[in-house]
Amino acid sequence: MYNFLQKFHSGWAYLALLILLVAVVNAILGFTSKKEFTAKDRKIALFALIGTHTQLLIGLILYFVSPLGKAAFGQMSNAELRLTSLEHPLINLIAIVLITIGWSKHKKLINSEAKFKTFAIFYGLGLLLILSRIPWNLWF
């Protein structure tokens, strides 16, 4: 089960990152070009939200069954174990909270420019945090 979850978590990450990147680029382009916020823009942001939340759920399950997750939590002197047991889950949780806040804030806004700006900021920060804590050596 661990091997399946680990491969699924890694594979889904490509999809989640791609959708999140598309949402950030779409928000930046929409903000800079002053275009109208449409249902297509909302769906792109929603798919990014769903993709990252799905990745979080898979990651939480993996965290508790993996020898690199909860089981290695006390070994902070080892940089690789610290990354997989503390930094990766914590920073990615913060990133997904930021993405969720961005989604929630956009619903209260009326102005298209403000919606795009909110997505660009919150989704962009979430993307940067996620990219900063990917265990690249385990990914390739």
Q: Does residue 55 register a pLDDT over 80?
A: yes
Q: Is the dihedral of CA 76, 77, 83, 87 positive or negative?
A: positive
Query: Higher pLDDT residue, 15 or 80?
Result: 15
The first and second tokens of residue 106, run together, are: 């956009």
Quick one: residue 34, left, alpha or beta (phi over 0 = left, psi -120 to 50 = alpha)?
A: left
Amino acid 92: pLDDT: 95
Q: Does residue 99 register a pLDDT over 90?
A: yes
- Indicate the pLDDT class of residue 64, thresholds 50, 70 and 90: confident
Amino acid 57: pLDDT: 96
Which residues lie below 8 Å from residue 79, measured CB to CB, with a gap of 6+?
none
Overall domain count for the chain: 1
Q: Across the chain, what does the average pLDDT equal?
A: 90
Range of the domain at 95: 1-138
CA 19 – CA 29 distance, rounded (Å): 15
Which residues lie below 8 Å from residue 73, measured CB to CB, with a gap of 6+?
85, 86
CB 117 within 8 A of CB 31: yes
